[in-house]
């Protein structure tokens, strides 16, 4: 990156270290932190939306819809995450290519290789001639969708319990005043359920942070992948000009995750205090006593 790094034979000491830490591989490593943060920024609201739909469906008065909502949470929560991440992404990728092949391939007979079938080149997603950006974007999109499905099931269980925790007397009073079922849901139930849901959603957020290394299973090169690659003394292709530094790289990741989770705890604590203010909950009672 620097002019002094042009000739590796003439650099040593701190100059060598600065050149090493600004190499192309390390720049990819630094960008992988952005990838993790972007994943969390996109996945968290997506999983929350999936959870809200699942919880709302579970509370539906229509039996088929209620079974679907409860079944979604039960099935996904009952499957180990690593198995779901390994199987679901492959099935989803092949399902997308299969549907596309029905529209663009002239011949619908595809040879199978093990558990994978080969579609025509026009049905590949993304296309073989697409740039590396689109391949990375497609892999990232699959990762976000998979994370949203998995953690949305846990969010659905949390939100379902929070909805049931809202005092029924308030809901019945609102209906007695002439509100429809939909109005009670939007104006009474949903605004109050967040107070009861926040502790469970806070824990789920922490688990989501710790689950980001699963990106490697989805083909996305994350911070753990680069820490292992850069920290090792050699790879299959070449050797690094340093001994095994994986301990230091993983200690750096440890500090990053500890700082990130601590900041999350502070933000969630302030959000909890804001939601509990004026509410008839244990948290709201504690705030009233502290202010009096």
Domain presence at residue 280: no
Tell me whether residue 174 is in a domain: yes
- Can you give the residue range of the structural domain that contains 167? 3-224
pLDDT of residue 13: 61
pLDDT per residue, tens digit, the chain (292 aa), is 556 565 555 566 676 677 777 777 778 888 888 888 888 999 999 999 999 999 999 988 899 999 999 999 998 888 887 777 777 777 888 888 888 888 888 776 666 666 566 777 787 888 877 888 888 888 888 888 888 999 999 999 999 999 998 888 888 888 888 888 888 888 888 888 888 899 899 999 999 998 888 777 777 777 888 888 877 766 555 566 666 777 888 898 899 999 999 999 999 988 888 877 665 554 444 444 555 4
Domain annotation covers residue 184:
yes
pLDDT at 2: 58
In a domain, 87, yes or no: yes
Which pLDDT belongs to residue 285?
Answer: 45
Is the residue at 273 inside a domain?
no
Predicted confidence at residue 158, as pLDDT, reads 94
Note the pLDDT of residue 68.
93
pTM confidence score: 0.78
Q: Domain tally for the chain?
A: 1
Helices (H), the chain: 13-21, 24-58, 63-78, 81-104, 132-165, 168-176, 181-184, 190-210, 223-231, 246-276, 282-291
Q: Does residue 285 lie in a domain region?
A: no
Residue 230 lies in a domain: no
Q: What pLDDT does 279 receive?
A: 58
The answer to whether residue 91 sits within a structural domain is yes
The CATH number of whichever domain residue 26 belongs to comes to 1.10.3720.10
What does the buried/exposed string (b/e) look like for 113-152 if buried means 16 or more CB atoms within 10 Å of the residue's CB? eeeeeebeeebbbeeeeeeeeeeeebbbebbbbbbbbbbb
| Residue 164 to residue 162: CA distance in whole angstroms | 5
* Phi, psi dihedrals of residue 132, rounded to the nearest 5°: -60, -30
Closest among 117, 121, 110 to 95, alpha carbons compared? 117
Beta bridge pairs of residue 112: 117
Q: Where do runs of H (alpha helix) occur along 105-131?
A: none
Supply the pLDDT for residue 283. 44
């Amino acid at each position: 990156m620097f002019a002094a790094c042009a000739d590796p034979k003439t650099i040593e000491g701190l100059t060598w270290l600065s050149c090493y830490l600004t190499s192309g591989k390390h720049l990819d490593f630094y960008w992988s932190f952005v990838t993790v943060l972007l994943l969390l920024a996109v996945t968290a609201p997506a999983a929350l939306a999936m959870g809200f739909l699942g919880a709302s469906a579970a509370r539906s008065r229509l039996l088929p819809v209620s079974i679907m909502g409860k079944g979604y949470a039960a099935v996904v929560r009952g499957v180990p995450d690593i198995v779901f991440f390994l199987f679901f992404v492959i099935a989803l990728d092949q399902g997308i290519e299969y549907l596309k092949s029905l529209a663009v391939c002239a011949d619908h007979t595809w040879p199978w290789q093990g558990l994978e079938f080969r579609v025509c080149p026009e049905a590949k997603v993304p296309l073989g001639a697409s740039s590396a950006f689109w391949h990375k974007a497609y892999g990232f999109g699959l990762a976000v969708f998979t994370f949203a499905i998995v953690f949305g099931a846990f969010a659905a269980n949390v939100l379902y319990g929070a909805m049931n925790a809202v005092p029924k007397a308030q809901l019945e009073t609102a209906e007695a005043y002439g509100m429809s079922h939909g109005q009670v849901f939007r104006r009474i139930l949903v605004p109050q359920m967040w107070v009861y849901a926040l502790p469970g959603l806070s824990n789920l957020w922490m688990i989501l942070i710790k689950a980001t290394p699963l990106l490697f299973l989805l083909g996305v090169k994350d911070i753990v992948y680069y820490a292992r690659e850069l920290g090792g003394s050699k790879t299959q292709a070449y050797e690094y000009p340093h001994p095994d530094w994986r301990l230091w790289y993983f200690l750096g990741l440890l500090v990053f995750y500890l700082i990130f989770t601590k900041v999350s705890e502070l933000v969630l604590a302030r959000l909890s205090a804001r939601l509990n203010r004026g509410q008839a909950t244990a948290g709201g009672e504690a705030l009233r006593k502290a202010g009096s």
